[in-house]
Amino acid sequence: MAREYQLPSKQGSSSASSGIDYAAELNDQQYAAVSSKPGPALVIAGAGSGKTRTLTHRVAYLLDKGVEAGNILLLTFTNKAAREMLERVEQLVPKDIAGLWSGTFHSIGNRILRKHADDLGFTRSFSILDRDDQKSLLSEVVKGLNVDTGGRRFPKSDLLASIFSLSENTYESIDDILEYRYPHLEEWLEEIKKVSKAYRKKKKETNSMDFDDLLILTLELLQKHEDLRKLYQRKFRHVLVDEYQDTNKVQCDLIDLLVGESQYLMVVGDDAQSIYSWRGADVDNILGFKDKYADAEVFKIETNYRSVPEVLELSNAAIRPNRTQYDKELRPAREGGAMTPALVALDDPSIQAEFLAERIDELIGEGVEPKEIAVLYRAHYHSMEIQMELTRRDLPFQITSGLRFFEQAHIKDVSAMIRFVVNGRDEVSFKRMVLLLPGIGSKTADNLWQAWLHSAAGRSVEVPESFSNTLLSFRVPAKAKDSWEQLCHTLDELAPEGKFERPSNMIFSILEGVYEDYMRATFDNYEHRKQDIEQLMQYGENYEDILEFLAQLSLMSSVDGDPAQDKKQQDESESVMLSSIHQAKGLEWKVVFVVWLADGMFPNSRVLDSGDNDMFEEERRLFYVAVTRAKDQLYLTYPMTNPKSYTGEYMTKPSRFLEAIPTELTEEWEVSTW
């Protein structure tokens, strides 16, 4: 056994010290974590408890104790977080910290691989493929394999990239990924596996790595080369990890290899905010930390500086039913006496939207800045009526995705087919429509458009009795033949014998006829996009006249409705935020509305139908993340009825998440509609 020998501290004179009074600047729980002895440590930092403050003060504390900056590794999930933490550390300590390694897992992987890529058969000048580069290379690979689609839609490159990424980051086989996550693609299993193998080979040949490789290959490097592994273990005497609950299996293994036998590791996170399993995050990493590091100290930081006590009481009650979690109780630093969280049952989705818009307008009138108000939802389509109502009232809003409901690609695809049927001279809509088909590129789209223009139907101002009679005579690539025929017959269904169907019927025909197959092969979030289109279908029920419907679609688009208004130029301080809960994590607002809290919506139907307790507990964690975004006021809303184009109106049940909240923690609002 090696003898341990400790060199004296390099802290030196007091002038080199930060002078921080850690006990005075931190609360007791934060101080305990920051000043803990070297070794494995898990810091459970509740929502709004000062996680970043704790982590940055820990770095400062190590520097004050004489640890060299170059011996510290700080791992984050975003470049923004890494920059902010470094800036805070620089403000805290009067030392040069240029040697400190701080960044995302991918950026640290890149730094290591730039030094040692030749050990893996790459050169150090390897290229990093962004998403577009990755899609292009995958397209080349698929083309080179001569995959026989046989009239079936082979998955698009973007979807293939998502499948491969998920497989690599979870250690799940492609077989399992398709079975559990993409069952509609199982018929392509063998071809997808061939593409995966060929893609890996192509990256090697082109001296290229995608983002996943930056992790996978760094891990491989350290596993295969003991000398390099020990080199980095000696260098990184202290490893600190932010948002540990969001790590996947590869990231977790990489951390373990970098730490080595010293086990000078501090991870900070909150198991109650683990909500990204769909992209590979594994909550078991944080829940099982003590199983891996038996000597680990566990610190809990439970003082919340964000929310009023009324919101925190509800938040604690919301997460309490989860069986698999670290026990903790958020405690308020702020005084009570604020508004009790509101529970608001509304007649239907449109009334829900009216209530939100009315209340938001009142809040702004009361002096709340629009930027301090957020509407949070489980799925993007839940925001459609709300967007429409805010637009009608000229209330400014922004969406975290950057796209309003009617500006999304799949909504515009469906609209393009309708627009062409209504206006046979709409070149833009025609080309957008035909470019969706396999084997059709810009040149073919141009040729088809010219053929249509020169046909009798194309020259006529009348809607043809049959689109297929004309379009089926056009020459299309063999790969597109079956899809082209289906599209032509679908167009006939939109206007049988030259008479327009109702908007909702048109959308149904497009979805069932051609577009659902396209989405299955194109998007990894196919189900969410289908829900968007079903919501559009429901909206279409309000209209008999297709021209009026299309006019509303244009007016609801920020681009078409107000050309002078560029949302990218819009002052965020003047806008209410509409966001999915996943994208809202880490953010906060004075006023938060959580909408569509009905069973089947939130929690969503897929989770309920699965019967999987792990999935259900993650869904509850998502609800917890939503309510803990609120600082002052919280509104929980749901529609009591939900009209559906398929089945007609049906009664909804309040979300079972609401059932877990004691009645005294909410105030019921009764909303009348005159």
Q: Residue 513 gets which letter from DSSP?
A: I
Compute φ and ψ for 412, nearest 5 degrees: -70, -30
How does DSSP classify residue 598? Answer: B
For 336, other C-beta atoms within 10 Å of its C-beta total 10
Nearest to 369 by CA among 594, 571, 595: 571
3-class DSSP state for residue 43?
strand
**Tokens linked to 509:** 């025909």
Angle at 233 between CA 230 and CA 239, to 5 degrees: 165
Which residues have C-beta within 8 Å of that of residue 472, sequence separation ≥ 6? Answer: 484, 485, 488
Tokens linked to 576: 């209410």
Given the residues 25, 52, 358, 541, select the one marked as catalytic.
52
Helices (H), 238-383: 249-259, 284-287, 289-292, 309-319, 349-365
CA neighbor of 239 nearest in space, from 261, 217, 222: 261
| Rounded Cα gap, residues 400 and 348, in angstroms | 25
Catalytic residue among 64, 212, 213, 243: 243
Give the orientation angle of helix 211-224 with respect to helix 249-259, to 10 degrees.
Answer: 40
Q: Where are the alpha helices (DSSP H) in 435-588?
A: 442-453, 456-459, 468-471, 481-494, 503-510, 516-522, 526-540, 546-556, 558-561, 581-584
Is cis: bond before 603, omega within 30 of 0? Answer: yes
Show Cβ contacts of residue 481 under 8 Å, excluding neighbours closer than 6 positions.
151
51 part of the active site: yes
Q: Is 340 a catalytic residue?
A: no
CA contacts within 13 A on the Cβ side of 194:
13
Please check whether residue 494 is in contact with residue 463, taking contact to mean a CB–CB distance below 8 angstroms.
Answer: no
C-alpha dihedral sign at 389, 393, 399, 404: positive
Is 400 known to be catalytic?
A: no
Query: Which candidate in 64, 212, 242, 617 is catalytic?
Result: 242
**What backbone phi and psi angles, to 5 degrees, belong to 586?**
90, -5
Of 501, 502, 524, 505, the C-alpha closest to 513 is 505
CA 557/CA 563 separation, integer angstroms: 10
**Spatial separation of the C-alpha atoms in residues 404 and 571, rounded to whole Å:** 16
| Residue 273 among the catalytic residues | yes
In which element (H, E) is residue 232 found?
helix 226-235
**CA neighbours closer than 13 Å in the CB half-sphere of residue 281:** 21
Helix (H) or strand (E) holding 668: strand 667-670
Let me know if 404 is a catalytic residue.
Answer: no
H and E: helices and strands count for the chain: 32, 19
Residue 43 β-bridge partners: 268, 299
Question: Which residue out of 30, 51, 310, 432 is catalytically annotated?
Answer: 51
Residues 273, 444, 490, 633: which is the catalytic one?
A: 273
Tell me which residue of 75, 70, 80 sits closest to 100, measured CA to CA.
70
Residue 207 near residue 127, CB atoms below 8 Å: yes
CA neighbor of 487 nearest in space, from 549, 445, 442:
445
**Marked catalytic residue, from 629, 632, 637, 652:** 629
40 phi and psi angles, rounded to 5 deg: -70, 135
The reply to whether 413 belongs to the active site is: no
**Residues annotated as catalytic (active site), given as ranges:** 51-52, 242-243, 273, 629
